[in-house]
Chains A and B, each alone.
Chain A
Amino acid sequence: MSLTIADPGADAFETLAPSPRALMRRRALSHPGLLIGTGFLALVTLAAILAPWISPHDPYAQDLSRRMADPIWGPKGEWDHVLGTDALGRDVLSRLIWGARLSLWIGFTAAVIAGLIGSTLGVLGGYFGGRVDSAVVYLINVKLALPVILVALSVAAIAGGSITAIILLLGFLTWDRYAVVTRSLTQQLRERDFIMSSLACGASHARIILRDILPNLLNQIIVIASLDMALIILIEAALSFLGLGVRSPTPSWGLMVSEGRSVMFFKPFLIMVPGAAIFLLVIAINMAGDGVRDVTSPEGRA
């Protein structure tokens, strides 16, 4: 505030009010959902990135002499295998950490692909209207009519379970939410005066879309991306569980649940641990996404 005193021209009212950035920080710090969600998400992301250094064992190393060892809370638990070992004697904690890597990677890249497809279609349809919009709406309707799981299952069965194939498949199956939201938001933005004044300053349509429309959509796109990522992680887990996604021995959470299924009544921790991991990650991503929305646009809170 010393600036205000030194400079008589500055408007005291404007400089005394907290800056929007400070307000946003204050809102973020008092939003438990955002803090818990991003906190857990950050933890998982960090573990995934540091997997080669922090995982206690090789996730592929089998030790048939120590199959289905109890986790630390079990009767014969040992600190060597904190979360026990699976039916082939592989360390569950290590597989969980490497599995997080896979889940986050698939979730993130597929969400980005879906975001690129959906936002491009939505913005073009919303901005240009007319025939372009009719085509976009038609594509969205076709997409909405597709049963996601069914298509995912059949395509995964035909194309096989390579990670690239799954990423592309899920990217192409979940873009509709981006398209619907960006289209209607663009329609509203297009009517705003600053678009007209940008045109009056000589901006081209491409420039208006990239410089005026997209930056105003970014918050919403990030929120949708977080929800989309959670959905993609769930579908990937489901596909792997059904044996149509990631193939063994690659560590995937869905695959771990599937492998533990045969012994679930004797060693329930083998499905509970990866199941809980999926649940917690998805809920953390959702909480973080909702939190970002609440903090960046408090007026849009549902």
Chain B
Amino acid sequence: MSGAPVLEVEGLSVDIDVPAGKLHAVSDVSFCVRPGETLCLVGESGCGKTMTSLALMRLLPPRATLTARRMSFEGRDLARLSERDMARLRGDRLGMIFQDPMTSLNPVYRIGDQMEEVWLRHRGGARAAARKRAEFLLERVGIINPRQRLDQYPHQLSGGLRQRMMIAMMLMCEPALLIADEPTTALDVTVQVQILSLLRDLQQEFRMGLILITHNLGVVARMADEVAVMYAGRIVEQGTGREVFAAPTHPYTRGLLDCIPKHGQSAARGPLGSIPGIVPSLVGEMSGCSFRNRCALAHEACRRGEVALAQAGADHAYRCVLPPGQARGQAPAFAGGAA
């Protein structure tokens, strides 16, 4: 742990107005990120990971409303900043990388123009200086011939190159916090590893906080200092990467870990783990544990009230009515649990 947190979020909720009522996309999420540290948000599709990141950027769709007790970023409350001040932060102190590098660059501008524009918008000054910085950063993210690349259009680059370029673009102003929403999902496996280790290196070099959103637990194991597992808009388990992987406590986390195929595991030795059922509807009020209808350990107590986060270790919390020992007790499907 190094120094004061760059981002502290307390009680973040996002509600979306839908015809059937209010959809609670994110409920009461709290976490903090320190400089040089990586927080991984993990969960399946629709669990609120992306909504959480968009809420941090204040880029939620118009029908969504954001409430938070505190969203303190470098001493400023993101939830209360004006739209104008927020626009000044984006791309400057706060950066975000999206999932699909093939579509997140404007096809009609050269790479150089798009990178320089970020710098000129926030720092002003001469275009030549911006170009120099863009060239330096392209080189830094491992692009050979940066000078030539600056004059190319996005469609002339491969997916991996474009994602490197997106990363370089976000580093133009050296943000204090970088949010990466599934940055490697659209890339092939060999490129994924390169991009992840690049992110890791850059994060150390620039002392950035990094929020990495992913559904890939392999990525989490590789990258995370802190992990937050999300399910149905809530954090169900949260802690240091080491503790969560050593002793996964919430039945959902263990279920996720069982879903990873392991080398040498064949049908004869038991089926690949899966979690039965589907994510419950997030529309309307709900009570009790949102995972209860998919949980092997569910019982009467899971229906009642709000399940609070309980401590499972020094830096490790989980959201289940059972004490840690019992929650871990019966391993669903595949034996072992921990990766």
Residues of A within 8 A of B (CB): 7, 9-10, 14, 20, 129-130, 192-194, 196-204, 211-212, 215-216
Q: 1/0 contact trace for B36-63 toward A, CB 8 Å? A: 0000000000000000000001010010
CB-CB under 8 A from A10, the residues of chain B are: 145, 148
| Contact (Cβ within 8 A) A200 B91 | yes
CB-CB under 8 A from A203, the residues of chain B are: 87, 91, 121
Q: Is B328 an interface residue (CB 8 A)?
A: no
Residues of B within 8 A of A (CB): 57, 59, 62, 87-92, 95-96, 98-100, 103-109, 117-118, 121-122, 144-145, 148, 153, 155-156, 166, 169-170
Interchain nearest-CB distance for B152 vs A (Å): 8
CB-CB under 8 A from B62, the residues of chain A are: 129-130
CB-CB under 8 A from B108, the residues of chain A are: 215-216
Closest to B143 in A: A9
| Contact (Cβ within 8 A) B121 A202 | yes
In the bound complex, how far is the Cα of B172 from the Cα of A202, in angstroms?
12
* Given A196-B59, A197-B166, A202-B118 contact (CB < 8 Å): yes
| Contact (Cβ within 8 A) A216 B107 | yes
Choose one: A129, A200, A204; the contact of B95 (CB below 8 Å): A200
Choose one: A9, A197, A199; the contact of B145 (CB below 8 Å): A9
| Contact (Cβ within 8 A) B144 A193 | no
| Contact (Cβ within 8 A) B98 A197 | yes
| Contact (Cβ within 8 A) B169 A193 | no
| Contact (Cβ within 8 A) A196 B118 | no
* Given A201-B121, A215-B108, A216-B108, A193-B87 contact (CB < 8 Å): no
CB-CB under 8 A from B170, the residues of chain A are: 200-201
| Contact (Cβ within 8 A) A199 B90 | yes
In the bound complex, how far is the Cα of B144 from the Cα of A203, in angstroms?
29
Interchain nearest-CB distance for A129 vs B (Å): 8
* Given A192-B103, A193-B104, A212-B106, A202-B98 contact (CB < 8 Å): no
In the bound complex, how far is the Cα of B293 from the Cα of A300, in angstroms?
49
Given A197-B166, A201-B91, A216-B107: 10 more A-B contacts, CB < 8 Å: A9-B145, A193-B99, A194-B103, A199-B57, A200-B95, A200-B98, A201-B95, A202-B88, A211-B117, A215-B109
